[in-house]
Amino acid sequence: MENCVAETAFIVLVDKDFEIRWFTPEIEMDLCGHATLAAAHVLTKHLGHLSSPIGFWSNSEELLVAIEKDLLTLNFPSRIPEFTEAPQIILDGINQKPVEVLKSRDYVLVFESEEIIRQIEPNQIILNQINIDPGGIIVTAPGREVDFVSRFFTPQASIFEDPVTGSAHCSLIPYWAKKLGKDKMLALQLSPRGGKLFCKDMGDRVLSHNVPGGIYFNLKDNHAKTLCRLHLSKTRFQRRIQFSVKRIRPTISLHLCGIGHRTPRQLNYRFTGGLYICPGTRAHAC
């Protein structure tokens, strides 16, 4: 199955909140920041949802997205990483010696400088020998002009390096807050697309935000409406993803997926996160 975004969010309205789950073309994820932002953006900008914060419920506890004009702020549970030893496959695949190794959901490899993070050329063939489902590998270091930088790699995934990873910052924020002795920080993810996050450590919760159209979205409202219209038309579905959620009734589903060369109409904007609004027991991925 082809999908030009890393994850797709599936949401179901339950009372005043939403249940949410995230899928890559291969697996179900336990948490995804940018797809959650995509869901909040579409709910507020295109479906008339007015309340703030928006509550999303998942196996990762309650997730909140606060909305102030065009600013969306993620409020996620903190995942404090603990010191550990990295598997030799990861060390061989990264081919740089970290100064510290920690783990929560993801392995966190800490390096001395931003230059090392930029220069890392991971060997995907080696790293694909390990399965960290549903986690990945974070490489991080102090930043030159920001508090810390990072990159995120997912072995055995069709999208190997994630552009900007909100869920990884559930571990990065508490780590760097303690390391730097500050609770408010500016972070930079050094993927080819890249993006800045404004972060705050709140103990058992972490906040991160950016303006849609920056790191998580790169689309304009009129193009989003065009995409809605395209995907509400008849589409070939290559695979079905089965999942069940309590208290649901069948209705129409709205699919916002990545904008790229696979869309019926070429648009020069794309966003890293898809959305299915699917109050039914069956969802489709194209």
DSSP secondary structure of 46-112: TS----SSEEEEETTEEEEEEEETTEEEEEEE----EE----HHHHHHH-S--SEEEESSSEEEE-S
Helix (H, G, I), strand (E, B) or coil at 172: helix
Task: Confirm whether 85 is a catalytic residue.
Answer: no
Residue 207 identity (one-letter amino acid):
L
> Over 90: is that where the pLDDT of 190 sits?
yes
> Over 80: is that where the pLDDT of 277 sits?
no
CA proximity to 42, closest of 9, 74, 16:
9
Two tokens at 207?
């906040």
Q: Which residues contact 273 (CB under 8 A, 6 or more apart)?
A: 5, 6, 7, 8, 9, 32, 34, 35, 36, 37, 38, 39, 216, 217
Two tokens at 108?
């966190």
- Strand 217-218 relative to strand 205-210: parallel, antiparallel, unpaired? unpaired
Q: Structural domains in the chain?
A: 8-70+215-285 (3.10.310), 82-199 (3.10.310.10)
Q: Which residues contact 59 (CB under 8 A, 6 or more apart)?
A: 30
CA proximity to 89, closest of 141, 150, 155, 152:
155
Residue 25 or 171, more confident: 171
Write down the pLDDT at residue 25: 80
Residue 153 identity (one-letter amino acid):
F
For 223-230, what is the mean pLDDT? Answer: 27
Two tokens at 265?
């109409």
Instruction: Classify residue 138 by its DSSP letter.
Output: E
* pTM, full prediction: 0.72
Each residue of 145-186: pLDDT tens digit? 999 999 999 999 888 999 999 999 999 999 999 999 999 999
Q: How confident is the model at residue 60 (pLDDT cuts 50, 70, 90)?
A: low
Two tokens at 208?
């991160």
CA proximity to 35, closest of 72, 68, 79:
72
Look-up of token digits 């999908």: 3
Helices and strands (H, E) in the chain, number of each type? 6, 20
CA–CA separation, 138 and 212 (whole Å): 24
Write down the pLDDT at residue 136: 95
Among residues 2, 7, 62, 100, which one is catalytic? 7
